[in-house]
Amino acid sequence: MIDATTQLAAVALQQSSPALEPVAAAAIAVGLGALGTGIAQRSIGAAAVGAVAEDRDMLVPALIFTALPETLIIIAFVTMFIAQGAQ
């Protein structure tokens, strides 16, 4: 186990070339962020529909809570483009 950890650390800390290209790392980061956003939105959307079905006054808060996870992926896209522009 320790040998595998040492080898993994050696691969991750290579000075000659990174384990992932910056574009690939950004794509993975945004993809995982989108996956998390989808999972959160699934639960929030189901709860929002139930709340609005019981009380119509809950429409505006339900829309706000449904839109909140989407802002996370928008921030991830903006951060990716800023990071790519800085290189």
Looking at residue 17, what is its pLDDT?
66
DSSP annotation of 17 reads S
Q: Could you tell me if 58 and 41 are in contact, meaning their C-beta atoms sit under 8 angstroms apart?
A: no
Looking at residue 87, what is its pLDDT?
63
Phi, psi for residue 54 in degrees, rounded to 5: -85, -35
Instruction: State the residue range of the domain holding 64.
Output: 56-87
Q: Could you tell me if 44 and 65 are in contact, meaning their C-beta atoms sit under 8 angstroms apart?
A: yes
Better-predicted residue by pLDDT, 20 or 40 = 40
Query: Is the pLDDT at 7 greater than 80, yes or no?
Result: no
Looking at residue 15, what is its pLDDT?
57
- Residue 51, in any domain of the structure: no
- The number of distinct structural domains making up the chain is 1
- Residue 60, in any domain of the structure: yes
Better-predicted residue by pLDDT, 79 or 59 = 59
Single out the residue of 48, 44, 68, 66 nearest to residue 57, CA to CA. Answer: 48
